[in-house]
Amino acid sequence: MKKTVLLFSGQGAQTVGMGRDLFERYPTASRLFKEADSILGLDLSKVIFEGPEEKLTQTEYAQPAIFLMSWVAMKLLQESIPGFEFQGAAGLSLGEFTALAAAEVFSFEEGLILVRKRGTYMQEACDATQGGMAAIIGLPEEVVREICAETETELANLNCPGQIVISGESSKVVSACELARAKGAKRALPLAVAGAYHSSLMRSAQSKLKDALKEVKITVPTIPVVSNVTALPHEKNADVIRDTLVRQVTSSVLFESSLRWLIDNGFTRFVEVGPGTVLCGFLKRISKEVEILNIADTVSLEKTVAILNQVN
């Protein structure tokens, strides 16, 4: 049997209206959306389904919204294929928290509350700084590292071959883009984000997240969950998991290396659960050999379930 990984979406994948078709068609989805509203004490479902986009994009709403949407997608997959099992999990930044919840490190309720707090703390850090991010396309990692050193910016995401995201003070990110173009980058594109995620400008969020994590009951993962910080599975130690999640706020996201660890360790089927197909796109740039599926709406759910039913 193929070893299967669930991949969980990160911030930026959110779109107004995501999950509405699942909510309207599947009682489990409807129940989970309503449950999330009750847990958080706010009408998150309305923000997800109706927007406005500016509100959904705010970190404090985007993070719990994507966590919820990804959880719904996973639960519908499990409901549609009784006995379905996955042997590994990973997620991009925020998605790592969903992956940990999927591995029973903490509950859905605790995870939802935690990512809402994380989003709020990161939004506060954004508001207190003048930060930005940019995607650098078509340059080797070592060249981007040189650019960062020269412009006092930082590597935020190493997503896949030829795509690296940098982070830092807005004016310095602009300078880094100019230098990247001069060094032959195919594209150097500032991103429409609220701040400098995964950089030292997020440091103020770390102490708050550390305190929030102290209140969360953490157990060891039931399956390997690859850490963004180390590109290795989380250790089976609650304190180390907490520390790694705090470090993740300012550390580079080693997503390409995380996917390569999974491939090198025999995982051959990857299912992205949650809005969008960004992670599928990264994976296609890394390997032509693995099977790549996704669940983001009713159509993709039915397609993925049909494929998995043929082979399981």
Smallest Cα–Cα separation from 184: which of 212, 216, 227, 143?
143
Instruction: Outline where the chain has alpha helix (H).
Output: 20-25, 27-40, 44-50, 53-57, 59-80, 94-102, 108-128, 141-151, 170-182, 203-214, 238-248, 255-264, 278-286, 298-311
Q: How far apart are CA 127 and CA 68, in angstroms?
A: 25
List, by residue number, the catalytic residues. 93, 198
Q: How far apart are CA 271 and CA 163, in angstroms?
A: 21
Please give the backbone phi and psi of residue 16, each rounded to the nearest 5 degrees, phi first: -65, 130
Task: Please report, to the nearest 10 degrees, the dihedral formed by the alpha carbons of residues 98, 100, 102, 105 taken in order.
Answer: -130
Residue-wise over 139-162: b if at least 16 C-beta within 10 A, else e? beeebbeebbeebebbbbbbbbee
Structure-token pair, residue 45 = 């479902």
ω into 52 cis (within 30 of 0): yes
Distances (CA, A) of 18 to 12, 33, 83, 97: 13, 12, 27, 20
Q: How far apart are CA 260 and CA 288, in angstroms?
A: 12
- Cα-Cα end-to-end distance for the chain: 8
